[in-house]
Amino acid sequence: MSTQIDSVLIDETKDALKETAQLIEAAANAQGEEAKALYAKIADNLRSAKHRLTELEGNAVEKAKVAAKHTDEYVHNHPWQAVGVGAAIGLLVGFLVARR
C-alpha cells in the first residue's frame, strides 16, 4: 500500500514540476498582472511539490527504520548465519577488487 502511495506522490510531484517549468517559460514572456498570476501559480506548485517530497521522505525514513529493526532482530536471532553472510559478501567483494 505504501509503495502505491509513494508511486502516486512521485507521479504527482513530477507533474507539478513539469507544469511549473512550463509556467516559468510563460512567465518569462508575461507582463503585469499576468506575470504576477503566473508567479503565484509557480510558488503554489513549488509548495505542493515540496509537501509531496516531504511525505516521500517520511515514508522512506519509516521504511528504513522498519528494515533496520527487522535486520537487527534477525542478527540477534541468527548470529552465526549473519556472520556467514557477512563473510561471504566480504569474500565476493575481495574477489571483485582483486580482479581489477
The three three-digit cell numbers of residue 89, written as one number: 559478501
What's the confidence (pLDDT) of residue 2?
66
Please say whether the beta carbons of 9 and 52 come within 8 A.
yes
What's the confidence (pLDDT) of residue 1?
59
What is the domain count for the chain?
1
Residue from 20, 92, 25, 84 nearest 50 by CA: 20
pLDDT, mean of each 10-residue run, the chain (100 residues): 75 85 82 85 87 88 93 92 93 91
Residue 16, classed as helix, strand or coil, is: helix
What's the confidence (pLDDT) of residue 29?
80
Residue from 51, 64, 39 nearest 9 by CA: 51
Q: How far apart are alpha carbons 57 and 40 in whole angstroms?
A: 26
Domain range enclosing 43: 2-99
Q: How far apart are alpha carbons 56 and 7 in whole angstroms?
A: 9
